[in-house]
Chains A and B, each alone.
Chain A
Amino acid sequence: MTPTGNDNATADNVTGSGSSAAGLAATLMPVGMEVNGMTVALSLDPRTTLLDAMREHLRLNGTKKGCDHGQCGACTVIVNGQRINSCLTLAVMHDGDAVTTIEGLGTVDDLHPMQAAFVKHDGYQCGYCTPGQICSAVSVLKEIAAGVPSHATADLTATPTVTRDEISERMSGNLCRCGAYSNIAEAMVEVAGAEA
């Protein structure tokens, strides 16, 4: 629930010239979320993106900032079961939401099947886009399973299937300048096969 009534007043406090510590404190807003299954309570500057709430406040560094403008997908996280660009949304808009970041999918000693498939197929190089790719990849397979159509779905009335075209289309919001696309698709096909 977004407290829209307060947005303007808050913004004034922040960008205005009031510099006292009290003025600063007054700009903070409480937000409670469930992040990777843990309940967290934060007190945040309302301008803080969900991305920076993860990286700078919760120190969950896995979610990456590639552009901060919704242009690259490096910041992809899963909110209430849906993947979003966490740089394009303010943390305070997510009071009560459940957020899954890359850290919530698996750990070094207990990899999520998609994480393991990325290692096996070398679905990365520098690794910077990788958490976002994996959060998207996991979500894409769920979206297809749920029957959500895409631009690559030939018959909108039929149930989409996991094809190379569907994968490429749905993953295209996640840029990889290292160019690991071909390997990422193979990792996803393998995981989808195992799931099917």
Chain B
Amino acid sequence: MQFDAPAGSNIFDDARIVGKSTPRIDGPNKVTGTAPYAYERHDVVADQAYGWIVGAGIAKGRITSMELTAAKAAPGVIAIVTAPDTQPVGKGMDNHAPLFGGSEITHYHQAIACVVAETFEQARAAAALIDTNYDRSTGSFDFDAVRASAPRSGEAETLGDFETAFAEAAVQIDETYTTPGQTHAMMEPLATIAAWDGDKLTLWTSNQMITWAKESLGDILGIDSANVRVDSPYVGGGFGGKLFIRADAVLAALASKAAKRPVKIMMQRPLVANNATHRQATHQRIRLGARMDGHITALSHQNWSYNVEGASGETATAQTAKVYAGANRLTAEYCATLDLPEGNAMRAPGEAVGHLALEVAMDELAEALGMDPIELRVVNEPDAVPGNPGKRFSDRNLVRCLREGADRFGWSERSATPAARREGRWLFGVGVAAGYRGAPTCKSGARVHLADGRIVVETDMTDIGTGTYTIIAQTAAEMMGVPLDHVTVTLGDSSFPASAGSGGQWGATSSTAGVYAACVALRRQIGEVLGFDADDARFEDGSIVAANKAFRLADAGTLSAEDTIRFGKFKKDYDVATYAGHFCEVAVDAYTGETHIRRMLAVCDAGRILNPLSARSQVIGAMVMAAGAALTEELTVDTRFGCFVNHDLAGYEVPVHADIPHQEVIFLDTLDEIVSPMKAKGVGELGICGPGAAIANAIYNATGIRVRDYPLTLDKYLDRLPAIA
């Protein structure tokens, strides 16, 4: 099905199942521990051996020798695959750091060997007996040292004359904000079981993008991707960390070949941060020039980041062309090359950290103007895309998000004077931030089967906690007129039609639109079998009414249909995006500087919300990750050895229960005709765009101290806290 024009009215406009809060259909399996994740699939293939990954102990240089005698002789060892004895494997999609093979080391904890043994304990013990010697070379690991000389990536985006307008502006803000590296820290580490059957390879793995994975494995291993099957029905979190093939999958495949046995590998937690990918640090300079009435006349956002050779930085300016009006503009990205691990997509790449700067700069501008921060944003609401005036917004309700949020949150009680509200030992403050995140779509296919009046959906789409199983079941149930429990959804298998996959917050609307397309095809087949015009029929409660005649779905027998939704060029005229107003109240301990988040609210404009229950979870979860970015999360670089030193869940501090208060989410009831037939947009990344800045602004409101260096740990302001009266 081609989506070539705005959706118009369709079946979902008076939906009975889509759009209703629905407990997850996979929920009972998840809460009883019976949902199968990659590493624990004992039943898929017999005789699985255990693999243990050895990571490099240097960040740059060469392996000069690897002594394996003791390891090979250790109990239970079946095979050892080493990098020096393996030709470097190929590169997969969006893969820049080497995955395995050869003696050259380009980043810390790069995989250099895999030990396969009968048991996990034996593989681990044998791996410890490998003695590796290196010729270590000097590398470049210090972002601050190379930042100033980083080349610009791509063209600067300019409009009007920024420098002149900024110089002439009545009020100017010129500030620099820094964000550190961050790691996805999904709770299920990278994990794969691999098995060969002749030249056919099956991987039971944990991956967000099944079709990309299958294609990439062909390129990486130098085999025909048609011989690769990937299966990933449950993914224990991804956040971008499982978009692309990583060393667990490559080593499971190579080790399985060497061991002539199926091999299972879970990348050890302490390896994940350095072996795999991370969100890179940024250094952002923002300049805002405004008239006294708040209208922005000059807006510049420059961002410096880094990556390995040939890959792009963390593009923190991504949202800046879209959010606020302003006739004179300059945005530019600069990217240094470092010998750190590869930077790659993490939840709302660019935008998540871009908001940490832009939305604080807006708070600073509001204060400089003596204006309410919400009013400042309202005044600068654009009519067309500010950085690209030829483009229209498909449906944008940012002002409503801010206004309704303000009412709900009690914004009018905020004191514009910082450090004005003290209760006992606590300094209270509130903050606001706007949120913008694009709502792309991606072609997506599905197959639907009808038998005995029940529906089975097959698509290689993944559920990474996003609630995909349920929204796909809701869509199929709505389309075919059956109760939800008459729909079975099977996901994540590359033998199913290729889907959009889970990334860029496009999964929900794209994959359900694909299911919609397949269901339209199945309805037509049913119409042909039973003799009615399916496009004029109502499918409801297991029966069908067409031209005043009634039919029973079950009488159509056994049928199957497959289709793919494809998105047409007309969408290029629009900026299709999601919007939010984020609000936060913090209490800062007047003695210790410790920050507690007391309240969080997000008001979201994301089109139709397919399942408010799971969509809300996506948003609160993203708000939690934003809280981590604002307050605790930081990959600390050891610039002597070129690694992230805090590479485990003790050293890298993700938010815990005690850090997070009750959270509130409001969805505006909007419909976006441009995005897809579902009129729905994603929320999983919108939720991380803004809350961190709202927290930072609340801390300023509580204390009068502006820290622009994330995370906002108390050591950065303890000595500046207001005097304790």
Interface residues of chain A, those whose CB is within 8 Å of chain B, are: 14-15, 17-19, 23-24, 27, 45, 47-48, 52, 55-56, 59-69, 71-72, 74, 101-103, 105-108, 111, 115-116, 118-120, 122, 124-131, 134, 164, 167-169, 171-186
Q: Is the CB of A126 within 8 A of B270?
A: no
B574 at the interface (CB under 8 A from A): no
Which partner residue on chain A sits nearest B42 by CB separation?
Answer: A59
Are A168's CB and B32's CB within 8 A? no
A sample of 23 cross-chain residue pairs with beta-carbon separation below 8 angstroms, ordered by A number, consists of A14-B125, A17-B73, A17-B74, A23-B75, A47-B121, A59-B40, A66-B187, A69-B269, A69-B648, A71-B269, A108-B29, A111-B32, A119-B23, A122-B613, A124-B27, A126-B237, A127-B236, A168-B657, A177-B186, A182-B620, A185-B657, A185-B662, A186-B662
A14 touches B188 (CB 8 A): no
| Nearest CB of B to A5, in Å | 21
Task: Please give, as numbers and ranges, the residues of chain A lying within 8 Å of B237 by CB-CB distance.
Answer: 125-126, 128, 177-178
User: Whole-angstrom distance from the CB of B710 to the nearest CB of chain A?
Assistant: 18
Q: How far is the CB of A34 from chain B (nearest CB, A)?
A: 18
Within 8 A of A (CB), among B66-83: 70, 73-77
Q: Is B39 an interface residue (CB 8 A)?
A: yes
Which of A66, A68, A111 is in CB contact (< 8 Å) with B188? A66
Query: A31 to B661, alpha carbons, bound, how many Å?
Result: 43
Q: Is the CB of B35 within 8 A of A127?
A: yes
Docked-complex contact B236 and A64, CB < 8 angstroms:
yes
Q: Render B5-29 as a binary contact track against A, CB cut-off 8 A, 1 for contact.
A: 0000000000000000001101111
The chain B residue sitting closest to A61, CB to CB, is: B40
A167 contact set on B, CB distance < 8 A: 657
- With A14-B125, A64-B188, A179-B655 known as contacts, the answer to whether A130 contacts B661 (CB < 8 A) is no
Binds A, one of B320-328, B379-387, B621-629: B621-629
Complex interface bits, B38-73 against A, C-beta within 8 A gives 1, otherwise 0: 011010000000000000000000000000001001
The answer on a CB contact under 8 Å between A66 and B75 is no
Which secondary structure dominates where chain A touches chain B?
Answer: loop
Known pairs A45-B122, A171-B657; A130 contacts B30 (CB<8 A) = yes
Chain B, residues 199-239, CB within 8 Å of chain A (1/0): the string is 00000000000000000000000000000000000111111
9 smallest beta-carbon distances between A and B, as pairs? A62-B33, A179-B624, A128-B236, A125-B465, A126-B465, A127-B30, A179-B621, A61-B40, A71-B649
CB neighbours of B75 from chain A (8 A): 14, 18-19, 23-24, 27
Which chain B residues lie closer than 8 Å to A74 at the CB level? 187
B119 contacts the other chain (CB 8 A): yes
Query: Which has the most chain B C-beta neighbours within 10 Å: A122, A179, A181?
Result: A179
Point out the residue from A14, A56, A134, A181 that lies within 8 Å of B624, measured CB to CB.
A181
Q: Which residues of A contact B465 (CB under 8 A)?
A: 124-127, 178
A108 to B33, CA, bound (A): 9
Contacting residue for B660 out of A55, A108, A111, A181, CB 8 A? A181
* A111 close to B28 (CB less than 8 A): yes
Instruction: Give CA–CA (A173, B33) in the complex, Å.
Output: 19
Which residues of A have CB within 8 Å of B188? Answer: 64, 66, 126, 128
Q: Are A181 and B657 in contact (CB under 8 A)?
A: yes
What residues on B are CB-neighbors of A178 within 8 Å?
Answer: 187, 237, 465, 617, 621
Q: Which residues of B contact A171 (CB under 8 A)?
A: 656-658
Nearest-Cβ distance from residue A188 to partner chain B, whole angstroms? 10
Q: Does B37 contact A (CB under 8 A)?
A: yes
Q: How far is the CB of A171 from chain B (nearest CB, A)?
A: 4
Contact A102–B32 (Cβ < 8 Å)? yes
Known: A126-B188, A168-B660. 20 other contacts (CB 8 A): A15-B129, A45-B122, A61-B33, A65-B189, A68-B268, A69-B270, A106-B31, A119-B27, A124-B30, A127-B26, A168-B657, A169-B658, A172-B656, A173-B656, A175-B187, A175-B654, A178-B465, A179-B621, A179-B622, A180-B620
CA distance A106 to B31 in the complex (A): 9
Please give me the residue from chain A that is nearest to B189 by CB atom: A66
Closest to B664 in A: A182
Determine if A122 and B616 form an interchain contact, defined as CB atoms under 8 angstroms apart: yes
The proximity string for B residues 236-271 relative to A, scoring 1 for CB distances below 8 Å and 0 otherwise, is 111100000000000000000000000000101110
Q: Is B120 an interface residue (CB 8 A)?
A: yes
Inter-chain CA distance A174–B188, complex, in Å, is 13
Query: What is the CA–CA distance of A130 and B188 in the complex, to the nearest angstrom?
Result: 11
Would you call B657 and A179 a contact (CB within 8 A)?
Answer: no
Interface flag for B663 (CB, 8 Å)? yes
Contact residues in A for B613 (Cβ distance below 8 Å): 122
The one of B24, B73, B121 in contact with A48, judged by C-beta atoms closer than 8 angstroms, is: B121
Indicate whether B307 reaches chain A with its CB closer than 8 angstroms. Answer: no
CB of B548 within 8 Å of the partner chain: no
Residue of A nearest to B72 (CB): A19
Given A122-B616, A126-B236, A184-B657, A52 and B621 contact (CB-CB distance below 8 Å): no
Nearest A residue to B36 via CB reads A61
Known: A122-B613, A126-B186, A127-B236. A182 touches B663 (CB 8 A): yes
B466 at the A interface (CB under 8 A)? yes
Least Cβ–Cβ distance between A93 and chain B, in angstroms: 15
Given A115-B32, A122-B617, A182-B661, A72–B268 Cβ distance below 8 Å? no
Q: Which residues of B contact A15 (CB under 8 A)?
A: 74, 125, 128-129
Q: Of A56, A173, A176, which is within 8 A of B187 by CB? A: A176
Complex CA gap A14/B237 in Å reads 35
- Decide if B33 touches A128 in the complex (CB within 8 Å): no
CB closest residue in chain B, given A74:
B187
A182: chain B residues at CB < 8 Å are 620, 660-663
Q: Produce 1/0 per residue, B295-317, CB < 8 A to A.
A: 00000000000000000000000
B614 at interface (Cβ–Cβ under 8 A)? yes
B120 touches A56 (CB 8 A): yes
Is B34 close to A, CB under 8 A?
yes
Q: Do the beta carbons of A63 and B620 come within 8 Å of each other?
A: no
Given contacts A124-B30, A127-B26, A171-B657, contact A67 B649 (CB under 8 A): yes
Contacts of B187 in A (CB 8 A): 64, 66, 72, 74, 126, 128-129, 175-178
Query: What residue in chain B is nearest A11 (Cβ atoms)?
Result: B125
Which chain B residue lies CB-closest to A63?
B33
Of the candidates A55, A120, A122, the one whose C-beta lies within 8 Å of that of B40 is: A55
Q: CB-CB contacts of B640-674 with A at 8 A, as 1s and 0s?
A: 00000000111000111111111100000000000
- Please name all residues of chain A whose beta carbon is closer than 8 Å to the beta carbon of B662 when the two chains form the complex: 164, 182, 185-186
Between A56, A102, A131, the greatest number of chain B beta carbons within 10 A of the residue's beta carbon is seen for A56
Chain A residues with CB below 8 A from B268, complex form: 68
Q: For B238, what are the chain A residues with a Cβ–Cβ distance below 8 Å?
A: 126
